[in-house]
Amino acid sequence: MLARVLGVAEAGLANGIEVGIGDDAAVLQGTTRRLVWTIDEQVEGTHFRRDLASWRSIGWRSTMAAASDLAAMGAKPWCALAALVLPDDVDDHALEAIAHGQRDAASAIHASVVGGNLSRGPTLSIATTWLGTCERAVTRSGARPGDGVWMAGALGLAAAGLRALETGRGLDARFADAIRAWREPRALIAEGLAMAGIANAAVDVSDGLASDAAHVAEASQAQIVLFEAALAEDPALATVAAWLDATPLDLALHGGEDYAIVATSPSPIPGFRRIGEVRPGEGLRIEGPLGGRALEPRGFDHFAPR
Amino acid sequence: MLARVLGVAEAGLANGIEVGIGDDAAVLQGTTRRLVWTIDEQVEGTHFRRDLASWRSIGWRSTMAAASDLAAMGAKPWCALAALVLPDDVDDHALEAIAHGQRDAASAIHASVVGGNLSRGPTLSIATTWLGTCERAVTRSGARPGDGVWMAGALGLAAAGLRALETGRGLDARFADAIRAWREPRALIAEGLAMAGIANAAVDVSDGLASDAAHVAEASQAQIVLFEAALAEDPALATVAAWLDATPLDLALHGGEDYAIVATSPSPIPGFRRIGEVRPGEGLRIEGPLGGRALEPRGFDHFAPR
């Protein structure tokens, strides 16, 4: 069944992939490059609701969310496996659409889904594991005082899109970009590769900037300082925030599922803009025109009451 | 959290593992050997019930079930990642015990869990992805007429153990071996490695021999003939079957979660016994003293009414 649904086209069986879907396991050629390997899971009710996203979007989002971990390590995606748990009310048509979204997402980052596993269970979930390759992986622990903090991608837009959907404004054209950011996120693979030779540390912003930047500070035993002006400057975000009665800064710091990349580096990174700096010390601070303050690393609760 | 719980000991960060738990992804050294890669998921209510297995056993079983796919390909386990979905009533103590089972299972096959992901959700599940390596992978599609069908491991014992537990006989010493087979299965890694240079095709028996042997027949476009006498000859199985009002043959053919390995080869495989042969044609047959018959590839329903 999965073989038919997720089935790799014969064209997919290139790129070092010797055996794809349909056997006990996938078989890949060896490589002298480093392997970067991650697993991520999206669960209905926690990460998505089927009334807010199409089946295709559910497949796409789960695949991209997992691939974003590769981007943050500076790795090139190679291939993915997925394990789906399907309740009885997810029919073949829905499964086909989910798999379509998975294939399209993998294909958009020049990689492929090579296998998987189907189980029955009461809650719909999609676990995705990605293998990527790199010469040198960028971890969370390499930030050094004196580094700039650099970011690629948009912050807060996906959270705004989700909030628009939750409040019944899915058809409101003003939120189209924000809703697209939530329904069809992109892992910033090219940006991650651009960063790989330059950055000292990096993380992807999946749980909110405040939460994810704090991980870098902790792993690197350094202080991360964010510049308020740099975070709130996105005019698109300012506009949707106003429509949602939110502040751009709150969306930028505590929104989630952006899949932006935050990196630290002593020199500029092509495609990244500067949003802060690394100092001796610990924890996270934000500095603005009214002074600075410590920032709690509060994460993103996908469907928490707001 | 997961870093603390699943945390790889420093000793684990050898064996080509450069970055383990706690970053966006694991980083492994490249290898010129082939990579064998699988994902499997165990879901509460479908693959296990927490009233029938300890937390540690739930972690162990999920890790071994996934590793069995490596054994069936003739691969050596390298390392694993796991994604856990935890309902609110699975507390830190339970998570610790699950992770303990995962670590012990990986360690029993000389490999390690190097990372993972935790989500909240209404249904407990554990997705495990394994990477292994090999010189040559044994697939399902290489069976040739004239090959013998060879098996390593026991059939039916795990299904008997589950049935004993479901019928309230968990403390009955007569079922101790069968219950252990269900609660603490072993992936037959050494047997898989022994087979790797010899076998034309192989599969692991996780859904029941009838179902899994049929996969080999289909993938290889050949007929698999099983010898009834060879399947029903296990005296331990005959005894527990009698206590359960089941036939040894039914348990052997349609029991599941055995993680035995069935391979086809023109010559004997050390540690395997002969249970059949490959003929031209298609599908699955069983032959016994009363003649032969086609066999339906009916799979194992974990908690189906019997």
Given a cut of 70, whether residue A118 has pLDDT beyond it is: yes
Decide if A300 is inside a domain: no
pLDDT tens-digit profile of A156-171?
889 899 999 999 998 8
User: pLDDT at position B301, please?
Assistant: 59
Decide if B143 is inside a domain: no
Q: Which domain holds residue A281?
A: 148-294
Given a cut of 60, whether residue B15 has pLDDT beyond it is: yes
Q: What integer is the mean pLDDT of B166-186?
A: 92
User: pLDDT at position A3, please?
Assistant: 42
Shared domain for B158 and B290, answered yes or no, is: yes
Shared domain for A200 and A98, answered yes or no, is: no
Which of B84, B108, B134 is a domain's end point?
A: B134
User: pLDDT at position B299, please?
Assistant: 66
Which of A86, A108, A134 is a domain's end point?
A: A134
Decide if B305 is inside a domain: no
Shared domain for A193 and A99, answered yes or no, is: no
Beta bridge partners of residue B148, listed in sequence order: B265, B277
Q: What integer is the mean pLDDT of B238-256?
A: 87
Q: pLDDT tier at A301 (50, 70, 90 boundaries)? A: low
CB A165, CB A52: distance < 8 Å: yes
> Pairing mode, if any, of strands B223-227 and B125-134?
unpaired
A164 dihedral zone (left: phi>0; alpha: psi -120 to 50; beta): alpha
pLDDT tens-digit profile of B95-114?
999 999 999 999 999 999 99
Q: Kindly determine whether residue A85 and residue B123, on different chains, have CB atoms separated by under 8 Å.
A: yes
Q: How far is B293 from chain A (nearest CA, A)?
A: 26
H/E/C letters for each residue in chain A?
Answer: CHHHHHCCCHHHCCCCEEECCCCCCEEECCECCEEEEEEEEEEECCCECCCCCCHHHHHHHHHHHHHHHHHHHCCEEEEEEEEEEECCCCCHHHHHHHHHHHHHHHHHCCCEEEEEEEEECCCCEEEEEEEEEECCCCCCCCCCCCCEEEEECCCCHHHHHHHHHHCCCCCCHHHHHHHHHHHCCCCCHHHHHHHHCCCCEEEEECCCHHHHHHHHHHHHCCEEEEEHHHHCCCHHHHHHHHHCCCCHHHHHHHCCCCCEEEEEECCCCCCCEEEEEEECCCCEEEEECCEEEECCCCCCCCCCCC
Shared domain for B209 and B120, answered yes or no, is: no
Give the whole-angstrom CA distance, residue B157 versus residue B257.
9
Sheet of B76-86, strand order: A17-19, A26-28, B34-43, B125-134, B76-86, B112-120
User: pLDDT at position A121, please?
Assistant: 96
Q: Which of A65-79, A160-174, B281-295 has the highest mean pLDDT?
A: A65-79
Cα–Cα nearest to B233, from B293, B306, B151: B151
Q: pLDDT tier at B302 (50, 70, 90 boundaries)? A: low
Shared domain for B119 and B14, answered yes or no, is: yes
Angle at B198 between CA B197 and CA B202, to 5 degrees: 100
Shared domain for A168 and A286, answered yes or no, is: yes
Decide if B300 is inside a domain: no
Beta bridge partners of residue A6, listed in sequence order: none
Select from A37, A76, A118, A205 the residue whose CB has the most chain B CBs within 10 Å, as the one to mutate to test that interface: A37
pLDDT tens-digit profile of B21-69?
777 799 999 999 999 999 999 999 999 999 999 999 999 999 999 999 9
Decide if B65 is inside a domain: yes
> Does pTM surpass 0.95?
no
Decide if A257 is inside a domain: yes
Given a cut of 60, whether residue A55 has pLDDT beyond it is: yes
User: Among all residues of chain A, which has the CA nearest to that of B140?
Assistant: A23
Given a cut of 50, whether residue A37 has pLDDT beyond it is: yes
Which of A105, A134, A163 is a domain's end point?
A: A134
Looking at every residue in chain B, the average pLDDT score rounds to 90
User: Which residue among B22, B23, B123 places its CB closest to the CB of A123?
Assistant: B123
Q: Kindly determine whether residue A27 and residue B34, on different chains, have CB atoms separated by under 8 Å.
A: yes
Looking at beta carbons, which residues of chain A come within 8 Å of B123? 85, 121-123, 125
User: pLDDT at position A297, please?
Assistant: 74
Shared domain for A153 and A273, answered yes or no, is: yes
Q: Which of A110-119, B46-55, B226-235 has the lowest mean pLDDT?
A: B226-235
Shared domain for A63 and A19, answered yes or no, is: yes
Q: Kindly determine whether residue A83 and residue B19, on different chains, have CB atoms separated by under 8 Å.
A: no
CB B36, CB B131: distance < 8 Å: yes
Shared domain for A94 and A120, answered yes or no, is: yes
Shared domain for B157 and B179, answered yes or no, is: yes
Q: How far is A202 from chain B (nearest CA, A)?
A: 9
Looking at beta carbons, which residues of chain A come within 8 Å of B40? 83, 117
**What CATH number does the domain containing B121 carry?**
3.30.1330.10
User: pLDDT at position B290, please?
Assistant: 84
Given a cut of 50, whether residue B276 has pLDDT beyond it is: yes
Q: Kindly determine whether residue A83 and residue B18, on different chains, have CB atoms separated by under 8 Å.
A: no
What percentage of chain A exceeds 70 in pLDDT? 93
Q: pLDDT tier at B300 (50, 70, 90 boundaries)? A: low
Q: Kindly determine whether residue A121 and residue B45, on different chains, have CB atoms separated by under 8 Å.
A: yes
**Residue B202 structure tokens:** 């192989």
Decide if A237 is inside a domain: yes
User: pLDDT at position B303, please?
Assistant: 60
Given a cut of 80, whether residue B12 has pLDDT beyond it is: no
Shared domain for B169 and B286, answered yes or no, is: yes
Residue with tokens 């098996």: B151
User: pLDDT at position A13, please?
Assistant: 57
What percentage of chain B exceeds 70 in pLDDT? 93
Decide if B81 is inside a domain: yes
Given a cut of 50, whether residue A4 has pLDDT beyond it is: no
Q: Kindly determine whether residue A73 and residue B25, on different chains, have CB atoms separated by under 8 Å.
A: yes
Number of domains in chain B: 2
A304 burial (CB, 10 Å; 0-12 / 13-18 / 19+) is exposed
Given a cut of 80, whether residue A254 has pLDDT beyond it is: yes
Q: Kindly determine whether residue B24 and residue A82, on different chains, have CB atoms separated by under 8 Å.
A: no
User: pLDDT at position B141, please?
Assistant: 95
Shared domain for B69 and B96, answered yes or no, is: yes
Cα–Cα nearest to B96, from B146, B59, B147: B59
User: pLDDT at position B306, please?
Assistant: 42
User: pLDDT at position B13, please?
Assistant: 57
**What CATH number does the domain containing B186 carry?**
3.90.650.10
Given a cut of 80, whether residue B8 has pLDDT beyond it is: no
User: Which residue among B22, B25, B70 places its CB closest to the CB of A70?
Assistant: B25
Q: pLDDT tier at B283 (50, 70, 90 boundaries)? A: very high
User: pLDDT at position A10, please?
Assistant: 40
